[in-house]
Structure 1
Amino acid sequence: MTRYTENDLRTVFADHSKDGPVPPPRLELIVRRGRRARLRRRAATGAVLTGAAVAVVGVGGFLPDVNRNVSGPASGLSSRATISAEPSVTITGMRGETLALIHSETHRTMGAPVTVVYRPTSVNTGYSIRCTDPKVWVLTQQVRTGEASLGRCNGSGDGPDSQHDELSVAPRWLDEPQNLKIWVFPADAPIAEGTWKTDGTPNPDYPIYDPYAPCKKVNRKLGLCDGKFIQDVVHIKPERLAAVVKRRQGEPWTVKVYDRPAGS
């Protein structure tokens, strides 16, 4: 297993010093985390949430079908912006509605972003991410709204990991293609587990406004907790972590986008 030293992280930080240290969590970030928790059905270990009014329940692990809709591993960008020609697959959304599969991609890219482009059919768009290795870290970023979630890809279940509603979608949601940026990092990436419990709720033993509370050794300038990046750093500057773990090919992972059928 690869080991990362604090010196490795210090070197990367020096290379990116123009960005400066990561600021402490803001009150509105904490409020948004709490808002989203009420719709959470299942959460990944160490999940850290930003944005509002969209349910996030982690990301799940399974062996994807690598022969279906495989995008080139070096592309890092989905070239498809239309509804995928997939078989009719439906799941139950977080509010009991029926959602149909509208887009699916499989990648092996780790340590670099993959941008998935899709065209929603309603404001109830949801997605799920499934990984061959359930312990890898997954960061998802809604490109237009800035919403993000981070956790291990260790969940299960048939429902969406995250689903929008009319309050969380970006302006002109149905008028143009939407982008979801996905970062997958190896299981041993230097990310601190943080102050959140495995069910996605705050750990009462630590104040949620202080990501350094569980740490024995703190380096606030570098954003390190016991030699690992705090999750706020990964949210704000995932490029710093990517510079440490480097781009590589890993085990397959699949993202599937679901939505209400058009006109329903």
Structure 2
Amino acid sequence: MSGIPNDSESSSTRPAPAWQRAAQTILTRLSHGSTPFITTFVLIHLTAPALASLGGTTLSSQVMLLGREYYQTPFGEKYLVLLPLLVHPLSSLAKRLLAPRPARRATSVLSLAGYAATLLLAVHFLTHRVHPADAAPPVLALSPAELDYEYVKYALQAWPWRAWFGYVALTAAVAGHAAEGAKVVWNTWLRDMLGGWRGGPGRVAGVVAAVVVPVVSGLWVISSEPLMVFGSTAVRFHAAFTKSLVYRL
């Protein structure tokens, strides 16, 4: 019978079950719907170090404290930052696992940048949010006022190679993933109205450079300034960073 595939037909030509197509649609919406929240957080977060080129560590810390009004409130951190940051990679991974044939290779720029950003972001979150909040000695729960760009400066001066790699690699991975992801989101939802996105590798590289260069410039200014904290606070900074295996070795 023509309606029943025979043994010679590839399983990849068989249509996916209805539940699988519905699940992929939902996962696509979750993955793409979380991106505006992540983009807003990233732009706010990266503005602070970039502005150090204009006003040094002091200006970066002031901008960061203003940004925390958005992303570090009891509601904002849970539902506008952490939830989208969890939903985006998990829904993307689930969509890949469910797809009969994934839309792109696991070694594509979008995928590789996403994997790198996820790993580096996890380390960054632990070293800059979780470990400094440890109430036990010697960290003694660094307060938001203490956890400013002096904390970043300490890392850049105490572990220059590791800190520079962590900050720059995370920024580049996020920028690369965002540049490639924006093309996917545009072509999924806006192609019919506004035409397809034709950005190639050169445009992605341009976006990455436009994001990374100001951040690197600002971090260089920050690292060049003297550390402006008490010795006891520097000890607590050291203890917070060395709770991570990355800085302990």
Normalising by the residue count of structure 1, what TM-score does the alignment of the two structures yield?
A: 0.27
Higher strand residue share: 1
Where relative contact order (Cα < 8 A, 6+ residues apart) is larger, the structure is 1
Higher helix residue share: 2
Q: Which has the larger radius of gyration?
A: 2
